[in-house]
Structure 1
Amino acid sequence: MPKDYSRTSRLGEQIQRELAHMIQFNMKDPRLGMVTLNQVKVAKDLGYADIYFTVMGARGESDEEIRRQTEEILNDGAGYLRSELARILTTRITPMLRFHYDETLDRGYRMNSLIRQARQKDQANSTDESGPIGVDEEE
């Protein structure tokens, strides 16, 4: 029977829980907004952990600027977060932390918008040619 729930997956989930708590309560940078950790991918050799996050916007700044700034703050604090993780985890090796902005939601919104536009265009084209779609003419 293959292992469906590997050690690296369990470790990734534990790292995600611990980091979320540390970022919320221990990081004192006032520029750091509301950060959500979406996923942690741990390398098989436990050398690196790639952490994917999203962040809610702040007042008066562009989304791209907020993302870049948050990624920079988190990567600058990775050493501190790693040392705190080393105290909590019971592993011999604590992975190096690399933070990345998770673009999955943005891609999803973009795809949803494109699908909506395509449906509206199709509906407008079919309405112009033959009347409303799905309406049977009465005999």
Structure 2
Amino acid sequence: MANRFPSGSGPSQRQLRVGELIRRRLSDVLLRGDVHDPELNRMSITVGEVRTSPDLKVATAFVMPLGGQGSDEALAALRRNRAELRRQVAKELTLKFAPEIRFAIDETFDRMDETRRLLNDETVRRDVDADGDDDPADDARPD
């Protein structure tokens, strides 16, 4: 069945559902230390999101080590153990193919901090307050 939506319309419900299933399973595997790598097992890694390709053959897991420290070491350990992680995740999934799992650092928290910093900037606050004074709904009300 052909995709009726343009490529920029976002992920399908199936992609979102499979991504969430992979995220949960991957989190469980990392939490329990099911992979036999002492370096990986000593790290506390959060799996924030998993995005899948439209054909569900590639899943990109966005991860962050606890406290944000040691991101490079965490990525190296995850990539070194990607075959075992793929096998562990695939055990619980009922998909035709076990997706290839790729890892990337989750920058969501950094972007949220930057957005908060910008919104708290005095110039931005002044502009937002000034825009609130020019409410067109006030002009439409009868006196």
- Check whether TM > 0.5: yes
Let me know the Cα RMSD of the aligned residues.
2.6
Instruction: Answer yes or no: is 1:102 the counterpart of 2:109.
Output: no
Correspondence list, 1:1-139, <5 A: 6-25=13-32, 26-27=34-35, 28-30=37-39, 32-57=42-67, 63=69, 66-116=70-120, 118-119=121-122
2:51 counterpart SS class: strand
Runs of 5+ unmatched residues, structure 1: 124-139
Cα distance in 2 for residues equivalent to 1:78 and 1:91: 18
TM-score by length of 1: 0.70
Residue identity opposite 1:49 in structure 2: A
Residues 1:122 and 1:22: Cα distance change in structure 2 (over 3 Å): closer
Q: Which has the larger radius of gyration?
A: 1
Which stretch shows the higher mean deviation, 107-116 or 90-99?
107-116
**Number of equivalences:** 114
Distance 1:87 1:122, change over 3 A: closer
Provide the rounded CA distance (Å) in 1 between the counterparts of 2:26 and 2:125.
46
CA contact 2:119–2:125 (8 Å) conserved in 1: no
Cα offsets for 1:41-95 (capped at 9, x unmatched): 011111200001122138xxxx3xx011111111111110111222221111111
Q: Return the structure number with greater helix share.
A: 2
Counterpart of 1:101, as a letter, is I
* Counterpart-to-counterpart distance in 1, 2:125 and 2:103: 41
Could you tell me how far 1:34 is from its partner in structure 2?
1.8
TM-score, reference length from structure 2: 0.68
Greater CA drift, 96-105 or 82-91? 82-91
SS of the residue 2:67 aligns to = coil
Percent of paired sites with the same residue: 25
Distance in 1 of aligned mates of 2:62 and 2:125: 36
